[in-house]
Amino acid sequence: MVVLVTGANGQLGQSLQFIAKNYPELHFVFCSSSDLDITNLESCQAVFLKIKPNYCINAAAYTAVDKAESEPEKANLINVIGPKNLAAVCKEFSSVLLHISTDFVFDGSKNIPYNETDIPNPTGVYGQTKLDGEKAIQAVFENYYIIRTSWVYSQFGNNFMKTMLRLASERDSISVVNDQIGTPTNAVDLANALIQIILTDNRQPTTDNFGVYNFSNEGQCSWYDFAKEIFKINNIKIDLKPIPTSSFPTPAKRPKYSVLDKTKINSTFGLEIKNWELSLKRTNSI
Ligand code: NDP
């Protein structure tokens, strides 16, 4: 079974590369942005013709949330046209598409976990392009799994955990917002969940399971709580101050609350999702 991974050098892509050896029954083909530009339909067709994947995991994306506010065309190209191209070639080659979306499709006005049927209402360009990317796939075909996730971190690439560790090495004091609530997601846990979806799909082929799913680790916290736990686990003593979002203005508005309800993915694929603190402890952060 051939699994193509786009955006292979991003943090999810690298996490998939990290766990690939645990699944000898799967033949992975990892494509970086220079091997496969998802915004180029001919490039997608050429790769699919060569490797004929059974599954395509789209780990490629434009993820610069604040920069997207001033680069909407670029964000749109990568987050909407890219997934649309992949859906088109998946349809042509009878492949299943696994695409990653985000909690930022929601406006954060709820105070109980978001489920897959809640109405999206993005507050910024990034969230809007990710939502439009979901819709672009849905307009092409039905053989997709769209997995919305949140607050992704790992030992790979750029993420909040690595930023906190870097800042702690440069400063004596750090201020972090404590009024945005969500759930951190270890990219390696997300990568394993994607593989479980593929294995289940391959074992029991059915069109019933295609659709939109939430995945994050379990539990919830603020960015301040997340930072506090990162420093605790890494034995870092630092003056960490909680601040309101109003004291840390950013170009893109973020949802105040974006905890995701994982009932659907748990019951469909029998996943055992780890608590975020436990998963953070197991991360090799150095
Ligand atoms: P990264 O930013 O770490 O990686 C994205 C990758 O996409 C990079 O390797 C980049 O390559 C590649 N890429 C960009 N443009 C193209 C292109 N035109 N063709 C092919 N590849 C391209 O993202 P993450 O791994 O963190 O995110 C994975 C998914 O999870 C994304 O869909 C994201 O929207 C979603 N997500 C992420 C969250 C987070 O906190 N990070 C939160 C919620 C959802 P290059 O560097 O060469 O440009």
Residue 200, pLDDT score: 95
Q: 66 alpha carbon to ligand 1 midpoint, in Å?
A: 14
- Measuring CA to CA, how many Å separate 43 from each of 37, 38, 89, 136? 6, 7, 10, 19
CB 210 within 8 A of CB 268: no
Atom of ligand 1 minimally distant from the CA of 8 = 9
Instruction: Say yes or no to pLDDT of 100 above 60.
Output: yes
Q: Which residues of 87-113 are buried (b: 16+ CB within 10 A; e: fewer)?
A: bbbbbebebbbbbbbbbbbbbbeeeeb
Which of 4, 12, 160 to probe ligand 1 with, by most ligand atoms within 8 A of CB?
Answer: 12
Atom of ligand 1 minimally distant from the CA of 38 = 19
Instruction: Find the mean pLDDT for residues 77-92.
Output: 98
Is residue 249 very low, low, confident or very high in pLDDT (cuts 50, 70, 90)? confident
Which of 14, 33, 58, 85 to probe ligand 1 with, by most ligand atoms within 8 A of CB?
Answer: 33
SS3 readout for 64-123: CCCHHHCCHHHHHHHHHHHHHHHHHHHHHCCCEEEEEEEHHHCCCCCCCCECCCCCCCCC
Indicate which residue of 55, 126, 144, 153 is catalytic: 126
Atom of ligand 1 minimally distant from the CA of 40 = 18
**pTM reported for the whole predicted model:** 0.96
Backbone φ and ψ of 99, nearest 5°? -120, 140
CB 64 within 8 A of CB 20: no
CA distance 242 to 247: 10
Q: What percent of the chain has pLDDT over 90?
A: 95
CB 99 within 8 A of CB 147: yes
Among 271, 1, 237, 32, smallest CA distance to 147 is for 271
For 1-51, write each residue's pLDDT tens digit: 999 999 999 999 999 999 999 999 999 999 999 999 999 999 999 999 999
144 in active site? no
Classify the phi-psi angles of 36: left when phi > 0, otherwise alpha if psi is within -120 to 50, otherwise beta: beta
CA distance 114 to 153: 20
Closest protein CA for atom 23 of ligand 1: 10
Is residue 284 very low, low, confident or very high in pLDDT (cuts 50, 70, 90)? low
For 127-144, write each residue's pLDDT tens digit: 999 999 999 999 999 999
Residue 285, pLDDT score: 46
Query: What token pair was written down for 18?
Result: 């990290």
Ligand 1 contacts (CB < 6 A) are 6-7, 9-13, 32-33, 36-39, 59-61, 63, 78, 82, 100, 102, 130, 149-152, 157
Residue 286, pLDDT score: 41
List beta partners, residue 249.
Answer: none
Instruction: Say yes or no to pLDDT of 207 above 90.
Output: no
